[in-house]
Structure 1
Amino acid sequence: MRPVVVVHGGAWAIPDELSRASVDGVKAAARAGYAVLEKGASALDAVEAATRSLEDNPAFDAGHGAVQNTEGEVELDAIIMDGSTLASGAVSSVRNIANPITLARAVMEQTDHAMLTDRGANLFAEKMGIPTVPTEALVTEIERKEWERQKSYSIGVKEMFNNQWAHDTVGAVALDCHGNVACATSTGGIRHKMVGRVGDSPIIGSGAYADNQSGAVSCTGHGESILKVTLARLILFHVEQGRGISEAVEKSLQHMGERVHGGGGAIAVGPSGQWAAKFTTERMPWACMDGEALHYGMEPKEENQEAP
């Protein structure tokens, strides 16, 4: 089985000044995930490594680079899922954790629960020895200025997403040499969201899903719209009905646009190694390592390749 890792850096109207950093970031994350797979490690290890790379990169809205809520706080959401067992772990509204994806994995492996939220998630992080970091360490100077600038605007979450004010989610999916799939999704949400707002990212079946029998998916876009159609599980439903990975992602995004007028994107990988990166927003940086080349792009219908 040839291993595959696919990553995305969020589907939104990425401005030109962030485009280069966004593409470079997803390429680096794909390489980080694939390096883990090349050593014979699991798909779960690969998606965690790739997502941590994205969380550590201030170009993305996850971990370092996260946006601030209405109170100027950083609240983070993340999920990870193992397609071989259907085990999952998630955190929501967790404060000041640099790598929430690692905390989500600890929830999956060290507790009897599937999700911890808010104060409980932070208490668990402390118990696991995962340090908190000050807000100042996670928020970029650009984010501080944008947050201040937008304080006086009266605009809803969906309208923020549909313009260049909104950053978005990161994620990864992988297939390892043993035929197991896994997924991970992580986000800081949408700037000026209400305190305690949770979007699709940490919700199983919406922001992500993985099952060895059908594939692994990580979603990105307008969270409330993704929740309404349970986008990740919808994509795999279409796979289970006999559609290819690419067609399943396309059809599901089209349905979300038609049914609830929401934009977004998704990456997916199937148990045979088929993969897809599709989106209905202006841009979505993505990259894939499949053993033969590094594939990447950001614009609709765009794909570039480099030697691995």
Structure 2
Amino acid sequence: MASGSSQCNKIKPVIVVHGGAGAVMQEYEDRYRAGVKKAALGGYDILKNGGDAVTAVEEAVVIMEDDPHFNAGYGSVLNEEGEVEMDAIIMSGKDLASGAVSAVRCIANPIKLARLVMEKTDHLLLTDRGASQFAKLQGIPEIPGETLITERSRERWKKNQKPGSNPVASQLGLGTVGAVAVDSEGNVACATSTGGLTNKMAGRVGDTPCIGSGGYADNNIGAVSTTGHGETIMKVVLARLILHYMERGMSLEEAADEGLKYMKTRVDGSGGVIVVNSAGEWTAKFSTKHMTWAAVKDDCLQCGIHQGDNEIVPLSEIL
């Protein structure tokens, strides 16, 4: 767990990202840390130059979609047919505008398509063939599906085809990616993207593109991005549940803990969340063994992966 709070009335931009909750093999830890740090810094660069929260979370997620170590975009896990199907959502807390896509193929950055759904249509969610047609209309290039597949994902797919395998248990380090942010105007936003569950049924859609489950943003409360087992997250509508607890007066940390606790006791689910509010307070919480996360505020980068882990580095030592 980590958290931070604003010490003055002026809103200072904040961004928090996660690279998925689960159990990360030690040999991959440095790469995950580097990936979330790069994403957080990329989003913060937009915020510190006066950019809006929606653009910042989109940029952070794009960076992780392009990183083969994360289960989103390039590096996504494969479904039972050995193909990549991806989900994504983005939401603006200013006006509750949201856009999402599900079961999309042959697109490098599903989060970009989700933003176009939000801004160019009257709908909130497009799926499969319809999403593909919309992408073509918007000039998003279609790429060969094979270019999204890493050797690591293919090997995992082969392993989980064996009798007695457990795809859920084998999601080691292959988690959803997400970001939440507040900009200098006090507007919050969230974005979440995933390749889903390895060896899932073709057409399976998890929590990520479902508003209130994979993410939610409301300036009056805050913004949340979730990660974990999609089916259990959906059952408790985790993102909106946490914001509900905040509405009832809980702090960000208390609300995140309570949401994860409820999911565990009610449906035996585990996962992680990142949360921010319009005052610039934030937290990163998880009930799994690991969750890779990074945050930037006050020209300071924080990062962690283990429970209680919090590496703090001034941006002056990075830039």
TM-score range, shorter chain: over 0.9
The answer to whether 1:78 aligns with 2:88 is yes
- Counterpart of 1:16 (choices 1, 26, 34) is 26
Tell me the amino acid that sits aligned with residue 20 of structure 1: D
- Counterpart of 1:170 (choices 173, 177, 181) is 177
Give the equivalent residue in structure 2 for 1:271.
278
The answer to whether 1:248 aligns with 2:255 is yes
Shift of 1:154: 3.7
Q: Give secondary structure in 1 for the equivalent of 2:291.
A: coil
Q: Distance in 1 between matches of 2:34 and 2:163?
A: 32
Shift of 1:165: 4.8
Tell me the amino acid that sits aligned with residue 110 of structure 1: K
Shift of 1:164: 4.6
Q: Distance in 2 between matches of 1:280 and 1:178?
A: 32
Give the equivalent residue in structure 2 for 1:95.
105
Shift of 1:136: 1.9
2:93 touches 2:187 (CA, 8 Å); kept in 1? yes
- Counterpart of 2:300 (choices 293, 296, 302) is 293
- Counterpart of 2:233 (choices 216, 223, 226) is 226
Question: After the TM superposition, which residues 1-308 of structure 1 pair with which residues of structure 2 at under 5 Å, given as runs?
Answer: 1-155=11-165, 159-165=166-172, 167-308=174-315
2:22 touches 2:289 (CA, 8 Å); kept in 1? yes
Shift of 1:246: 1.1
Q: Give secondary structure in 1 for the equivalent of 2:288.
A: coil
Tell me the amino acid that sits aligned with residue 89 of structure 1: G
Q: Give secondary structure in 2 for the equivalent of 1:285.
A: strand
Q: Give secondary structure in 2 for the equivalent of 1:289.
A: strand
CA RMSD of aligned residues (A): 1.1
- Of 106-115 and 12-21, deviating more is 12-21
2:14 touches 2:182 (CA, 8 Å); kept in 1? yes
2:301 touches 2:312 (CA, 8 Å); kept in 1? yes
Q: Distance in 2 between matches of 1:149 and 1:217?
A: 33
Tell me the amino acid that sits aligned with residue 200 of structure 2: K
1:12 touches 1:162 (CA, 8 Å); kept in 2? no
User: CA 1:207–1:164 in structure 2 vs 1: closer, same or farther (change >3 Å)?
Assistant: closer
Shift of 1:160: 2.7
User: CA 1:153–1:18 in structure 2 vs 1: closer, same or farther (change >3 Å)?
Assistant: farther
Structure 1: which 4+ aligned runs deviate by more than 2 Å? 159-166
Instruction: In structure 2, list runs of 5 or more residues that go unmatched.
Output: 1-10
Tell me the amino acid that sits aligned with residue 87 of structure 2: D
Shift of 1:217: 0.2
2:21 touches 2:173 (CA, 8 Å); kept in 1? no
Tell me the amino acid that sits aligned with residue 82 of structure 2: G
Shift of 1:291: 2.0
2:21 touches 2:291 (CA, 8 Å); kept in 1? yes
Aligned residues: 305
Q: Distance in 2 between matches of 1:182 and 1:238?
A: 18
Instruction: In structure 1, list runs of 5 or more residues that go unmatched.
Output: none
Q: Give secondary structure in 2 for the equivalent of 1:178.
A: coil
Q: Give secondary structure in 2 for the equivalent of 1:35.
A: helix
What are the Cα deviations for residues 269-308 of structure 1, in whole angstroms up to 9, with x where unaligned? Answer: 0111110000011111000001231011000111110012
Q: Give secondary structure in 1 for the equivalent of 2:20.
A: coil
Tell me the amino acid that sits aligned with residue 91 of structure 1: V
